Amino acid sequence: MNWDQLQLKPRIISAVQRAHLKSFREVLVSSEPDLQKMTGLSRPDVQELLHAAASACRTRQPITALQLQRGECRRLESGLRLGTGCPVLDQLLRGGLPAGGVTELAGASGAGKTQLGLQLCLSVQYPVEHGGLSAGALYICTEDPFPIRRLQQLISEQPSLRSDVPPSLIGRLRFSDNIYLEHAADLDSLQVCLSRRAALLLAQGRVRLVVVDSVAALFRSEFQPGDWLERNKQLLTVSSMVHHLSHEFTTPVLCINQVTDVFHQPESSSSSPSSSVSPALGLAWANQVTVRLMLRRLQATVSRGDQSSALRRLEVVFAPHLAQSSRDVAVWREGLRGVLDPVLDPVLAPFGPDVAQQKMVLPLRLGSV
Amino acid sequence: MFQRSEKNLWRFLVPIGVLCSDSATRFATRLSLNSTQPSVKSHLLEPDFFFFLLTWRSAGSTHSEAGVSQQEALEALQAASSGHGVAAVTALELLQKEEEFRSIVTFCSQLDEALGGGVPVGKVTEICGAPGVGKTQLCLQLAVDVQVPAVFGGLGGQVLFVDTEGGFQVQRLVDLAGAAVRHCSLLAEDEEQRVAMTTFTVETILSNVFLVRCRDYVELLAELHLLPDFLPDRPRLRLLVIDSVAFPFLHLHDDLSQRTRLLQGLGLRLIAAATDHNIAVVTTNHMTTRLRGSQAQLVPALGDLWGHAPSIRLLLRWEESRRLASIVKSPGHMDATVQYQITCQGFRDADQSEQPQSKRPRTQTDQSASSRENTRT
């Protein structure tokens, strides 16, 4: 640590070196009396030292929200969103997944979480004007093997999903070349993967999306019920790693989570009012995510031509910039698409989409989507 | 000047009196300027001497250890006890000063009433709650409300927003700012208010919000160390938001004693910033489960020691489909619970008239419950 780069008096620098303080961080996490004891400096000198260390630690000056909105500071919050490929879902998410935070997608098995993860791995490769981030994706599987056949099917059906993009552009993109697969069988390998492989790929600019499918699997299998303290620590470690990646490289991170049953108590003050399942891993994990989405399977089905699909609902449980709302979603050959009934919606659109959903009847006939 | 044993005593005094030390040094300086004896003057400028005097006052044995004659010591003690050069503030003056400071409204009138006007300036307020209940929304709302011009009853101030979680989204701030501008322009009646509206636009609101993003607790500590430099350059700054304090410190789970020490120092620094610079400090905290016997309770995170730092604590929680805000700790207000809602315009009163519609008929396919007036059209 080169203390000379700080503008400090020589006696302070020599005292610091005598005390074997190795970095600015070490200086900052010690309290003033501790520093005085360690270095033998007087109070004003210690304050000067702390001030210099703090200035060195601060990565950037405060900027105004106006500058942020105008995009004058790309690093802090670009306002970029990763589109999902379906305009209905993009409208629900006000553009898509935020590029600077951790998004959680929870749902029961068979709800379609992996499908959405795959769809995002493809949509990230489009250029920014088409809702992508012009880079690949890193997909970390922790339980099931990667559904490679489904990915190939999605790739071949991209032109029908993305009718807004010129086919020549779609043809030019080498989708499968830009999706990096990793398998993490336990927590240690997940941490290694995130800290080394993911960081390297992100730094090289080859990927701009990290999908962890799923977070819950590792935590639920490795810990006994009594080990919750250790489990929480590991949760926090993984969370701090993904947050660090997300903010360092302005990358959306999608963590897929499972659900657990809850028994309703008379006053459930800890969770938002919803049905009898809630995302797994508890409050400790819930505090760490920026955006929480839930995907639920409904009883209804929709049909379109020769395909039929069970209806799902994608719900925004909480997000700093989104209202609590939901959209119905169907899974087709080409991917997930939001479902809006064109007969009812033009009439009821002013009243909000949830009124339209109340009137949903089964089965639903789709017009043009 | 001191022997070894006295130095240890002084070391013991410092952590307790860390806040007093600045004022004590000022006091000592002022005292020394008024004193006649030059030797007493130079002695008093040493802060150690001042503390030492205070503890050994009753023992009457100061002079021999401190290297000062009995006469000089008595003189110094007399000057200290007469409060020479130090203005004592009466409670009435404090009350008048407090009434001058306005509070920052939250736009939820029930909550403002319960708080006696809003979030008070000069104090540290903490907002706790489960994820998704609206803590960041309230912080963003306060960041807009602090800028309401004085003619409308606001403070016309600026805000420093320290974001540790990544929850600050400019899109949302723009929504809230637009709603506040519309609200105030509907209220503008006389010429003065209309003139004020020309400087109260979405753009000016955005330009008065200073954003700092801290990635871990060290960066947060660094930011707060640099606060005394940042504040004097911005005399209009009236609000400091830290969203959230819990997030970076919860990641420091290896060394809990260090965490407690750092939080203590942080709390003191925030209180000092609030009182010295007349700003409202708002911090956000998470909830954590605490096991008491066989009962699991939801309590604010970061421990009991951190609970002493804020003077006011607001707890936001869900009850069925309603959002409730409770004042759980406040020296000046009664514990109260009010209902609020988060609309696309921001933090608002719960609309009493719309309540019957909030319970949507549950059909077989429809299982999710809460998107009433929260829905975006």
> Given an 8 Å threshold on Cβ–Cβ distance, is B11 in contact with A243?
no
Contact between residue A349 and residue A359 where contact means Cβ atoms under 8 Å apart: no
> Which residues in chain A touch residue B217, judged by CB atoms under 8 angstroms apart?
29
> Given an 8 Å threshold on Cβ–Cβ distance, is A315 in contact with B368?
yes
Chain A contact for B364, CB < 8 A?
yes
Please report, as a single letter, which amino acid is at residue B59.
A
For chain B positions 322-361, those within 8 Å of chain A (CB to CB) are: 342, 344, 360-361
Residue A138 confidence (pLDDT) above 80: yes
**Pick from A241-245, A293-297, B187-191: least confident:** B187-191
> Given an 8 Å threshold on Cβ–Cβ distance, is A275 in contact with B368?
yes
> Given an 8 Å threshold on Cβ–Cβ distance, is B208 in contact with A64?
yes
Q: Which among A21, A55, A283 is the top mutation candidate for probing chain B, defined by the most B β-carbons within 10 Å of its own β-carbon? A: A283
Q: Tell me how far apart the alpha carbons of residues B43 and B47 are, in angstroms, rounded to a whole number.
A: 9
**DSSP symbols for B80-108:** HHTTTT-PPPPHHHHHHHHHHS-EE--S-
pLDDT at B140: 94
Q: Chain B residue closest to A266 (CA)?
A: B320
Comparing C-alpha atoms, which of B319, B361, B324, B315 is closest to residue B342?
B324
Comparing C-alpha atoms, which of A360, A351, A347 is closest to residue B357?
A351
Range from A108-117, A353-362, B31-40 that averages highest in pLDDT = A108-117
Residues with Cβ < 8 Å from B290, sequence gap 6 or more?
B296, B297, B298, B299
Query: For residue B126, how many other CB atoms are within 10 A of its CB?
Result: 28
> Which residues in chain B touch residue A318, judged by CB atoms under 8 angstroms apart?
131-132
pLDDT at A266: 53
Partner residue opposite A273 with nearest CB, options B210, B320, B364: B320
**Pick from A240-249, A357-366, B107-116: least confident:** A357-366
Residues with Cβ < 8 Å from A61, sequence gap 6 or more?
none
pLDDT at A180: 95
Each residue of B259-290: b (16+ CB within 10 Å) or e? bbbbbbbbbebbbbbbeebbbbbbbbbbbbee
Number of cross-chain residue pairs from A and B with Cβ atoms under 8 Å apart = 220
> Given an 8 Å threshold on Cβ–Cβ distance, is A247 in contact with B369?
no
Please state, rounded to an integer, the average pLDDT across all residues of chain A. 83
List Cα–Cα distances, A270 to A259, B133, B248, in angstroms.
16, 9, 21
DSSP-derived secondary structure letter, B63:
H
> Given an 8 Å threshold on Cβ–Cβ distance, is A65 in contact with B262?
no
pLDDT at A272: 55
With left for phi above 0 and alpha for psi between -120 and 50, is residue B171 left, alpha or beta?
A: alpha
> Given an 8 Å threshold on Cβ–Cβ distance, is B165 in contact with A357?
no
Query: What is the pLDDT confidence band of residue A351, given thresholds at 50, 70 and 90?
Result: very low
> Which residues in chain B touch residue A328, judged by CB atoms under 8 angstroms apart?
none
- Specify burial of residue B332 (Cβ count, 10 A radius: 0-12, 13-18, 19+): exposed
Residue B138 confidence (pLDDT) above 90: yes
**Pick from A140-149, A343-352, B25-34, B329-338: least confident:** A343-352
Contact between residue A35 and residue A43 where contact means Cβ atoms under 8 Å apart: no
SS3 A207: strand
Q: Which residue has the tokens 């959903």?
A: A357
> Given an 8 Å threshold on Cβ–Cβ distance, is B318 in contact with A79?
no
> Which residues in chain A touch residue B250, judged by CB atoms under 8 angstroms apart?
236, 287
> Given an 8 Å threshold on Cβ–Cβ distance, is B319 in contact with A354?
no
pLDDT at A264: 64
Query: A236 or A32, which is more confident?
Result: A236
Comparing C-alpha atoms, which of B105, B104, B102, B110 is closest to residue B326?
B110
Contact between residue A319 and residue A291 where contact means Cβ atoms under 8 Å apart: yes
> Given an 8 Å threshold on Cβ–Cβ distance, is A318 in contact with B226?
no
> Given an 8 Å threshold on Cβ–Cβ distance, is A33 in contact with B289?
no
Here the tokens at position B127 are 């907002």
Please state, rounded to an integer, the average pLDDT across all residues of chain B. 76
pLDDT at B364: 35
pLDDT tens, A273-304?
555 788 998 888 999 999 999 999 998 888 88
Residue A146 confidence (pLDDT) above 60: yes
**DSSP symbols for A1-19:** --GGGS---HHHHHHHHHT
Q: Which residue has the tokens 């203590």?
A: B264
CATH superfamily name and code, B101-349 = P-loop containing nucleotide triphosphate hydrolases (3.40.50.300)
Q: Which among A80, A321, A358 is the top mutation candidate for probing chain B, defined by the most B β-carbons within 10 Å of its own β-carbon? A: A321
**Partners of A141 in the β-ladder:** A183, A213
Chain A contact for B365, CB < 8 A?
yes
Q: How far is CA B94 from the centre of its chain?
A: 19
Partner residue opposite A62 with nearest CB, options B160, B171, B360: B160
> Given an 8 Å threshold on Cβ–Cβ distance, is B166 in contact with A53?
no
Chain A contact for B137, CB < 8 A?
yes
Q: Which among B203, B323, B348, B365 is the top mutation candidate for probing chain A, defined by the most A β-carbons within 10 Å of its own β-carbon? A: B365
Q: Tell me how far apart the alpha carbons of residues A72 and A78 are, in angstroms, rounded to a whole number.
A: 9
Query: What is the pLDDT confidence band of residue B360, given thresholds at 50, 70 and 90?
Result: very low
| Predicted structure pTM score | 0.79
Here the tokens at position A310 are 């069970």
Domain ranges of chain B: 31-81, 101-349
ipTM score here? 0.84
On the question of a cis peptide bond just before residue A363, with omega within 30 degrees of 0, the verdict is yes
Query: For residue A209, how many other CB atoms are within 10 A of its CB?
Result: 26
Partner residue opposite B170 with nearest CB, options A65, A246, A349: A65
Contact between residue B325 and residue B350 where contact means Cβ atoms under 8 Å apart: no
Please report, as a single letter, which amino acid is at residue B225.
H
- Name the E strands within chain A: 63-64, 81-82, 97-98, 102-107, 136-141, 179-183, 207-213, 253-257, 259-261, 277-279, 291-304, 307-318, 326-332, 335-339, 364-365
The DSSP element (H or E) to which B348 belongs, if any, is strand B346-349
pLDDT at B284: 95
Q: Tell me how far apart the alpha carbons of residues A175 and A84 are, in angstroms, rounded to a whole number.
A: 15
> Given an 8 Å threshold on Cβ–Cβ distance, is A321 in contact with B171?
yes
pLDDT at B73: 67
List Cα–Cα distances, A150 to A176, A180, B302, B356, in angstroms.
12, 16, 45, 46
Q: Which residue has the tokens 């409300």?
A: B145
Q: Tell me how far apart the alpha carbons of residues A272 and B318 are, in angstroms, rounded to a whole number.
A: 6
Query: What is the pLDDT confidence band of residue A136, given thresholds at 50, 70 and 90?
Result: very high
> Which residues in chain A touch residue B173, judged by CB atoms under 8 angstroms apart?
65
Please report, as a single letter, which amino acid is at residue A105.
L
Residues with Cβ < 8 Å from B329, sequence gap 6 or more?
B307, B310, B311, B312, B313
List Cα–Cα distances, A80 to A99, A181, B169, in angstroms.
6, 24, 11
- Name the E strands within B184-336: 209-213, 237-243, 280-285, 287-292, 295-300, 312-319, 322-329
Q: Tell me how far apart the alpha carbons of residues A64 and B206 are, in angstroms, rounded to a whole number.
A: 7
> Which residues in chain B touch residue A62, judged by CB atoms under 8 angstroms apart?
160, 210-212, 230
pLDDT at A289: 93
Partner residue opposite B319 with nearest CB, options A53, A59, A269: A269
Query: What is the pLDDT confidence band of residue B356, given thresholds at 50, 70 and 90?
Result: very low
SS3 A66: helix
> Given an 8 Å threshold on Cβ–Cβ distance, is B287 in contact with A270?
yes
Chain A contact for B368, CB < 8 A?
yes
